[in-house]
Structure 1
Amino acid sequence: MIDPRTLREDPEAVRASQRARGEDEGVVDKLLSLDTRRRSSIAAADKLRNEQKLLGKQIPKAPPEEKQQLLATAKDLAAQVKAAEAEQNTASEEFDTLFRTVPNLVHPDAPVGGEDDFTVLKHVGEPTKLGFAPKDHLELLEALGGVDMERGAKVSGSRFYFLTGVGAQLQLGLLNMAIAQALENGFTPMITPSLVRPEIMAGTGFLGQHSSEIYHLEDDDLYLVGTSEVPLAGFHADEILDLNDGPNRYAGWSSCYRREAGSYGKDTRGIIRVHQFDKVEMFVYAKPAEAEAEHERLLGWEEQMLAKIEVPYRVIDTATGDLGTSAHRKFDCEAWIPTQETYRELTSTSNCTTFQARRLSVRYRDENGKPQIAATLNGTLATTRWIVAIVENHQQEDGSVRVPEALRPFVGGKEVLTPR
């Protein structure tokens, strides 16, 4: 959640952020009113408790003729304290419940608008020109013996699949290449849990506007994660970190699960939009003052990986209405997909500032040894969807697929994948 001091000291900044996101700015005035009520109730309860404490010291010393009256006053005061504490709890709960619905403040340079109002920061490479009618990734993978959609649907339903043979090799190769790069840059590799407690999922901000995307196991009250960002954000919950030697960087390998609610009719063919996929995600804990520079570094590492698979891509600055609850700013890298003649997202990196860490109580000690709220950041390093961009951009007229040079050591040295 945002810093409560920002709400009190600069409410217009919160209103402006809400407007930029397309959210209700009226929530600011409601919160200010609740905050005044909450703080007033705390002061009233404290005053009554202090009176109760002073009275408690007087009763044992009081003469017999006054003691009964003092006891009656103490009883009345105890009832007042109980009522004041109930009001304090109610006001605090109402404030906290509403306050948690407020998304992170947006970066002042983020483009304002919805999903289509992003700003293109740069293009890398020209859209692939193949010189023949391209096959889409599904046709290519099926000919290569790399995917089985029919049996995926038979076993699990729509938007599920089996990666088989070279398809499985491509995914494992990509993720291992991502882990290798992460290790080179000082990340700690992590295999993360796929299920998390409600407080961890809520702490990351995913139970707000994205809650319909998440699978919930009601009998166990656990959530299937849509990214290892979630368990990695919870990894240091309620801890104080040492960030004096630089950020803590993790690379989480996980299976990811998304309901794809609201996507009926979109990307129904192939493995672009599916319910389960694998991903390596970078996750960073940093000092807030270092977060913007770290965000640029994460984007740089994503671009290093994209260079290794040799596909044209563009970098976009995501618009405020498409940021997600926790993100202060988000950059996406989108690869060119020849059969769709458009760019599709392969990576996303977000600076979440102190939003998640404040919810999860992740802190660090400043130069004076005082605990402060940490910043968190995340970024995709490789995922199943990358296979789509690889096979479509590197396909050859006979249906074979050239393997990018950097990927070859991770797929058994194969240079070309040939149809069965």
Structure 2
Amino acid sequence: MIDLKLLRADPDRVKDSQRSRGDDPAVVDQVLAADAEHRAALADFETKRAEQKALGKEVAQAQGDAKQELLARTKDLAAQVKELSATADAAAARAVELARSLGNIPEPEVPSGGEEDFTVLRHEGSPRDFAAEGVEVQDHLAVAERLKAIDMERGAKVSGARFYFLTGIGARLELAILNAAMNLAYERGFSPMITPTLVRPETMAGTGFLGKHAEEIYYLERDDQYLVGTSEVALAGYHADEIVDLSAGPLRYAGWSACYRREAGSAGRDTRGIIRVHQFHKVEMFSYVTAADAAAEHARFLAIQEEMLQALELPYRLIDTAAGDLGSSAARKFDCEAWLPSQERWMEVTSTSNCTTYQARRLNIRERGERGTEAVATINGTIGTTRWIVALLENHQQADGSVHVPEILRPYLGGVERLEPVA
């Protein structure tokens, strides 16, 4: 949530933020109006409350008709105090509700615009020249079917469209990716976590996922719980309503969980295979850090992601996501996109976001600072997920139908260097 002190002091900055995201800047004025109403009602409440207390002392000393008159005035004041308290509370709740609808303020370097207005920062690695090697490029599903690694038909039979079974080497390959990711995170100082996949509404709302993209989330009405689309949600709620100790450095966690997404609005996009599916697994890095150190921690996350992608021998590009594609919580987001040979395009495989103090304010997560308790910053970033199977199979396919296995995955696959087609 946006800091109300910042909103009062520099509303134009927040309006500019709204515009850069493609959102309505008029909400800023609505928040300020509700905030002003709250503070005015609160001031009136305090005045009447003081008057009520003073009158109470007079009542104690009065007698006869004078006392009855004072008692009537006290009763009238009590009604006014109650009404002003309710007015102040309602205005405060309205201000907070409106403020929660505002997206985080993008960092100054973030490009303006929408999904297509990102900035490419650099490329790492070079896509293979399959034609020069005499390899006819197959898409990941064709490669996987030769390996008997993915069964889309039975996935649809059991659960419907965009569900699948990972079978045989496919299941082992996903576990290899996730275990390698978790191991790297552990070596870089992250505490491994297996996280819940069902969360309460206040946790989901606190992370900022119930805004414009709420339609992506599965909701279980009978239980009043949400299925998470990333373990970021559970990890963000882990320290809700707590004062955390960051004196020894950031609190770093790596969460492994199943993830669920409706993929609403993506009809006709990447319907073949497992690029856009409703259920997958992911290892997510998450950090609680001081606001002053958030940018440095964000850079650290990106470096770990790139270390993993380079170990997987994948060509990728790094993009700086535009303001309109940040999601409500992020102030800056970097995506790494791997090359997809069958479609000759880039496909997102990692994302890391600096959410500054936005989520922590909503979830009431603080640290003790020089000026009392202060909101912490939160950082998140993917380090391994099911979708990486797509990039691995396509980029490492061989002419004979086998698939090269990067060295980092071999310990988790019994030491094999190639995945061989199954007759």
- TM-score range (shorter-chain normalised) is over 0.9
Q: 1:334 corresponds to which letter in structure 2?
A: E
Q: Are 1:276 and 2:279 counterparts? A: yes
User: In 2, distance between residues paired with 1:359 and 1:222?
Assistant: 18
Q: Secondary structure at the match of 2:378?
A: strand
Identify the match of residue 418 of structure 1 among 404, 413, 420.
420
Residues 175-218 of structure 1: per-residue CA shift (max 9 Å, x gap) = 00011101111100000000000000000000001100000000
Amino acid at match of 1:128: R
Which is worse superposed, 321-330 or 125-134? Answer: 125-134
Which residue number corresponds to residue 55 of structure 2? 55
Q: Which residue of 1 aligns with 2:397?
A: 395
**Structure 1 letter corresponding to 2:202:** E
Partner of 2:195: 192
Whole-angstrom CA distance in 1 between matches of 2:42 and 2:22: 34
Residue 285 of structure 1 corresponds to: 288
**What residue number does 2:144 align with?**
141
Residue identity matched to 1:345: E
Q: Secondary structure at the match of 1:281?
A: strand
Equivalence map 1:206-245=2 (5 Å): 206-245=209-248
Aligned to 1:9: 9
Give the Cα separation in 2 of the matches to 1:94 and 1:233.
24
1:340 equivalent to 2:343? Answer yes
TM superposition outliers: structure 1 runs of 4+ over 3 Å: none
Instruction: Provide the alpha-carbon RMSD of the alignment.
Output: 0.8
Match of 2:122 in 1: 122
Deviation at 1:34, TM superposition (A): 1.4
What is the one-letter code of the residue matched to 1:44?
Answer: D
3-state SS in 1 of match to 2:411: helix
Identify the residue that residue 41 of structure 1 maps to in structure 2. 41
Q: Does residue 373 of the first structure (1) align with residue 375 of the second (2)?
A: yes
Shift of 1:150: 0.3
Q: Distance in 2 between matches of 1:8 and 1:325?
A: 20
Return the alpha-carbon distance in structure 2 between the equivalents of residues 128 and 43 of structure 1.
Answer: 69
Checking the alignment, whether the CA contact within 8 Å between 1:128 and 1:336 is kept in structure 2 is no
Q: Deviations over 1:223-280 (max 9, x none)?
A: 0000000000000000111101110000000000000000111100000000000000
Distance in structure 2 (CA, Å) of the matches to 1:411 and 1:44: 70
Question: Structure 2: how far apart are the matches of 1:236 and 1:190?
Answer: 14
Q: Deviation of residue 37 (structure 1)?
A: 0.9
Report the 3-state secondary structure (helix = DSSP H, G, I; strand = E; otherwise coil) of the residue aligned with 2:319. strand
Specify the SS of the correspondent of 2:401.
Answer: coil
Deviates more, 1:13-22 or 1:56-65: 56-65
Decide which moves more: 242-251 or 83-92.
83-92
Which amino acid is the alignment partner of residue 66 of structure 2? E
Return the alpha-carbon distance in structure 1 between the equivalents of residues 256 and 222 of structure 2.
26
| SS of match in other structure, 2:130 | coil
Letter in 2 for 1:248: L
Residue of structure 2 in register with 1:384 after alignment: 386
Deviations along 1:125-160, whole A, 9 cap, x unmatched? Answer: 112212222010000001101010000000000000
Deviation at 1:398, TM superposition (A): 1.3
Q: Deviation at 1:367?
A: 4.5
Distance 1:128 1:281 in 2: 29
Q: Counterpart in 1 of 2:159?
A: 156
Paired amino acid for 2:30:
K
**1:309-324 equivalent positions in 2, closer than 5 A:** 309-324=312-327
CA drift at 1:65: 3.3
Normalised to the residue count of structure 1, the TM-score between the two structures is 0.99
Matched residue SS, 1:331: strand
Per-residue deviation, residues 91-132 of structure 1 (Å, max 9, x unmatched):
112212211101101111001111011000110011221222
SS of residue paired to 1:339: coil
Cα distance in 2 for partners of 1:417, 1:408 equals 11
With the length of structure 2 as denominator, give the TM-score of the two structures: 0.98
Distance 2:370 2:10 in 1: 27
